[in-house]
Amino acid sequence: MTPKEQSFAGIDIGSTKVNIVVGVIEYPNTPSIVGVGTYPTSGIRKGVVIDVEETVSSISSALELAERSAGVPITQASINIDGSHVASLNSRGVIAVGRADSEITFEDTVRAEEAAQAISLPSNKEIIHVIPREYSVDSQTGIKDPIGMSGVRLEVEAHIITGSQPAIRNLLKCINQAGISAENQIVTPLAAAKAMLSKRQKELGSVLVDIGGGTTGIAIFEEGNILYSAILPIGSGHITNDIAIGLRTSVDIAEKVKLKYGYASPQEIPEKEKIDLSEFGGEGMTFRRQVAKIVEARLKEILDLVRDELRRINKDGMLPGGVVITGGGANMPGLAILAKHMLKLPCEIGEPKGIHGLIDKVSGPEHATALGLMLYSMDKQQTYGANDKLAKAFDGIKKLVKIFLP
């Protein structure tokens, strides 16, 4: 990249690795990847920091690789918030329109969103996102953007995502100690959805399932808007642990076995096919079908939990846009077929859309979150970059308003 080009970064701090994607905006407004850095994580468990020093070291190592790859220093980035402490709800806020001529302004939408935040939260929880789903002006409902319309009463239905204040502060401490300013904090499944769901999928109604190492994120969209989100405390790392127990071997060997021989459909594996564990530094032999049974059992548990979340909001089998699976766990062969069978919906493994540059380095579903985070940084710059005062106000109220609209 040239020195004059502004770069944007997304940092996905996962339970098993830190993944950083760096990009620039090419003419005409096309994201282009210029660098990638990935490094194993220490100090994170189920999406939450458990060791600050080790987490900082992992982030710093990934940063060094990303900077070397992109050829530019990275000083600010969008980061992800992960962990089962993340929760969501839908809330309504109502205000009287401020202007004498009854024309609705941007400030009115902000006040309505602030009114929607009048919810009871435990002292250790904080609001991460307030995402407008739709507005009502007087008796007219289903409005996506009320600015410029006339009315005396403005109501917003907003999707509110909350998280643990200590968990978020610890993560920000690690990011800051690694020399990075966190310009956006986005929950993991929303970041992945940004990169992997098309506008049409969001309009039809779809669910993104991000299977990470220690967590599984869910983001459900309908009519172009976020409807529900959650993060479950289970991920592909649990499959590794199950294999280690089942084969009576180390976690390191189990991970290698999973990556090379794992399969989500045991019935498709020849009954007598064997795996020589000495290939990975272990001892003895095992049947590949047995490994596949272990993989299938844990994936079924994860998909059962996803189905429970769909049932919670009466959307089980009711999303025509189907299921898009991302995260490192999405690389498991046979997963899409298993998910289609269990969730009774069309299913695909996520692929980035509309990205140029080093696309071969980020084409896998494991890069979804980092890609989405990078795209949020780009969107924020394009929306607010020309107005510093507005950008500061945007940061101050800690909301993503236009960025989250489809």
Instruction: Output the domain CATH number for residue 282.
Output: 3.30.420.40
| Opening angle at CA 405, ends 182 and 235, nearest 5 | 60
Q: Does 254 lie in the same domain as 331?
A: yes
Q: Does 235 lie in the same domain as 159?
A: no
Cβ atoms of 116 and 93 closer than 8 Å:
yes
Q: Please report whether residue 100 resides in a domain.
A: yes
pLDDT in tens, 215-252: 999 999 999 999 999 999 999 999 999 999 999 999 99
For 178-214, the three-class secondary structure string (H helix, E strand, C coil) is: CCCEEEEEEEHHHHHHHHHCCHHHHHHCEEEEEECCC
Q: Please report whether residue 402 resides in a domain.
A: no
Q: Does 340 lie in the same domain as 236?
A: yes
CA–CA separation, 75 vs 89, rounded Å?
33
Is the model's pLDDT at 390 over the cut of 60? no
Which of 331, 349, 367 terminates a domain? The answer is 349
Q: Please report whether residue 114 resides in a domain.
A: yes
pLDDT in tens, 70-111: 999 999 999 999 999 999 999 999 999 988 899 999 999 999
Residue 229 bridge partners (DSSP): 219
Q: Does 245 lie in the same domain as 148?
A: no
Q: Please report whether residue 14 resides in a domain.
A: no
Range of the domain at 335: 231-349
Largest CA distance in the chain: 81
| pLDDT for res 248 | 96
Task: For residue 283, give every residue at least 6 positions away whose Cβ sits within 8 Å of its Cβ, in sequence order, or none.
Answer: 277
Q: Does 326 lie in the same domain as 240?
A: yes
Is the model's pLDDT at 133 over the cut of 70? yes
Instruction: Output the domain CATH number for residue 149.
Output: 3.30.1490.110
The pLDDT confidence band at residue 403, using thresholds 50, 70 and 90, is: very low
CA–CA separation, 327 vs 368, rounded Å?
7
Q: Please report whether residue 307 resides in a domain.
A: yes
User: Count of domains in the chain?
Assistant: 2
Which of 328, 349, 370 terminates a domain? The answer is 349
Q: Does 238 lie in the same domain as 136?
A: no
Q: Please report whether residue 185 resides in a domain.
A: no
Q: Please report whether residue 157 resides in a domain.
A: yes
Which of 119, 134, 163 terminates a domain? The answer is 163
Q: Please report whether residue 245 resides in a domain.
A: yes
